Amino acid sequence: MSAKPSTLSVIRWLVERDLRTLVKSPFIIINRTIFFLIQLFVFAVLVSRLASSLDFNYFDFYSVGLVVSTITSIAFIIGEDLFEEEELGLLDYLLSLPFGHSLFVLGRALGGAVRGLIYVTPMMVLVAYVDGNLSPVGIAGSLVVIFILATGISGLSITLAMLIRNANRFDITIALAELATVRVSAAIYPLFYMPGVLQPVASYSPVTSASNVVRAIILPASYSSGVYDWVILLLFVGIFFGLGSAFLFRKIEGGKFE
């Protein structure tokens, strides 16, 4: 890279670098695709039949939430990549390149989001078709929403990677964080059927907000969303972009991973 690269060139380089890792991992892509199809055409179909007496179309609800939860899981991988780069000593080299740590976090968060977006776009198209709203505008709008969510989740994952220094603790924490963000949300479980103690937490989840907005786009006759959902999403992205940058700066100042 040049001595003073532009902001756009740095972001493009970081995003392209993360995209190359996606191409190098075809097994992960195949595995998650098979899992998605089984969840959509087996699990969702069976549960929707069991819930048919509730006057609630669970299949439509779940199909949209499944796309949102899938990109959430994929976005967490970027933190695992950073932790592995630290263990290999590659992160120190990347941080020595001539661009700021905030730009590094932004580029990696966007890289994780773009990687997830490429992966789930066919899923989003399939769900829109199955749910009867194969609108190019609607699909594009839905992809924008889940891209914003994935950027925030990537920032969260980067923050955890910079905060936790022990490999075992990191593996446990990242798994619990993924479990909490997906399960304690209205992505795959209707909020009004969740235990009362979890409903307040799930209502403030960015995964819930993203699911609400996408459902309002794909299933406008049955669902709606408001400004509140966008505020939650954008706050989530801003908070974890800031935290990721702060903890990365702390890593630059010193400290070894264990």
Whole-number Å distance between alpha carbons of 128 and 135:
8
Whole-number Å distance between alpha carbons of 5 and 1:
7
Q: Which domain holds residue 94?
A: 7-253
Is 216 part of a structural domain of the chain? yes
Burial tier of 251 (Cβ tally within 10 Å: 0-12, 13-18, 19+): buried
pTM score: 0.88
Is 156 part of a structural domain of the chain? yes
Whole-number Å distance between alpha carbons of 204 and 222:
21
The pLDDT of residue 256 is 47
Total domains present in the chain: 1
The pLDDT of residue 203 is 94
Is 1 part of a structural domain of the chain? no
Phi then psi for 119, rounded to 5 degrees? Answer: -70, -45
Given a cut of 70, the residues of the chain with pLDDT beneath it are 1-4, 22-26, 249-258
Is 258 part of a structural domain of the chain? no
